[in-house]
Amino acid sequence: MATYKGINGFAVQSVASDPSPSNEGQVWYNNATYAFKLAAVTTAGTWASGGNLPTITTQLGGAGIQTAALAFGGNSPAGTFVSAAYKYDGTSWTSTGSLNTARRGGIGGAGIQTSALAFGGYSTANSSASESFNGSTWTSTPSLNTARTAPGGCGASNTSALAFGGDVTYGAQTATELWNGSSWTNNPTGLNTARSSVGGCGTQTAALAAGGIDGGPSGSSTTSLASTESYNGSTWTSVSSMNTARYGLGLGGTQTLALAFGGNAYPLTGATESWNGTSWTTLPATMATPRTDGWGGGTQASAIYFGGATPGGNQNATEEFTGAGAPVTKTITTS
């Protein structure tokens, strides 16, 4: 017969008081109350509706967190390029200063709501344009070295960002560039797997890239990707792949604690996965509206996804993810 020690590798501890903090699934015996105890989470992670964007748009860029997000650019239902930008306070969106260059095609974004960077995308052609946001207005900055559509991006502010992958004349690329607040520098090494419409999160020196699509030389999309790579400030390393291959996904969090959600997995998906620095775990929570080409970010425990597209058309919906509650102590009974 299997024992707790045989399964978990250690015996149930006998303690005089309940441990704090405790880890989910931890079991102990409280010898003061003569009871076996268990640490269990209060709630499962869930998605809920947030405030709608003022405009219906897809292929837009974004930055920030669930309670202080920034949306900019994109593609309108009429197929026109968008320059408008909006701020989110966790409840509703309000207009702010517009981009200098209207564009779509998956604009790369980095930073926070009051210190953001927009780069790449598509205007009359693949764009190298880069702009810095100070919380109210956008200022054009030196351009990317390589014009690209649908790059991955991440970074802490408008002075420290990372751009990687993207599409250059219908061919996915590996090129990585670093922004220092005044110029873009080509990194000597790029992604191990060429891709566009890739999710990105983290900082310039500790980033994560996941998913995306490998674009063929004639413009045809060939493979939706599950592969994940970790960046240490100089090189990308391939790590464990997601459980669901997808592109146009949202990715929030850090290099070691991330959340992937939404995207196109043929068909569209609302699947949500968590990353612990080693492997991906599929969560029971799924987005209410499976979609692709929106923008998603935030943290592993508090993520956001807005805009995007479904087979029925472009979207203005916002969805918010709240992670599982903290473990609470429960007494084990026979009932």
pLDDT in tens, 112-135: 999 999 999 998 899 999 999 999
How far apart CA 332 and CA 335 sit, in angstroms, is 9
* Backbone angle region of 91, left / alpha / beta, with phi > 0 → left and psi within -120 to 50 → alpha: alpha
Question: How many residues would you count in the chain?
Answer: 335
Q: Which two tokens stand for residue 104?
A: 């779509």
- In this structure, the number of other CB atoms found within 10 A of the CB of residue 145 comes to 14
CB 260 within 8 A of CB 249: yes
The label of the residue with tokens 């205007």 reads 123
How far apart CA 176 and CA 335 sit, in angstroms, is 58
| Residue 10 main-chain phi, psi, to 5 deg | -150, 160
Residue spans per domain, the chain: 4-41, 46-322
CB 180 within 8 A of CB 186: no
Question: Structurally, what CATH architecture does the domain formed by 46-322 represent?
Answer: 6 Propeller (2.120)
Say which amino acid occupies 10: F
Nearest residue to 80 (alpha-carbon basis) of 130, 116, 122? 122
pLDDT, residue 206, reads: 98
CB 269 within 8 A of CB 224: no
DSSP string, 97-111: PPPSS-BBS--EEEE
pLDDT at 195 > cutoff 50: yes
Q: Which two tokens stand for residue 214?
A: 């490998």
pLDDT in tens, 28-81: 888 888 888 777 766 779 999 999 999 999 999 999 999 999 999 999 998 899
| Helical spans, DSSP H, in the chain | 4-8
Quote the pTM value.
0.85
pLDDT, residue 326, reads: 65
pLDDT at 13 > cutoff 90: no
Highest mean pLDDT among 4-18, 35-49, 159-173, 265-279: 265-279
Q: Which two tokens stand for residue 270?
A: 């609302």
**Beta strand 27-30 pairing with 13-15:** parallel
How far apart CA 117 and CA 99 sit, in angstroms, is 11
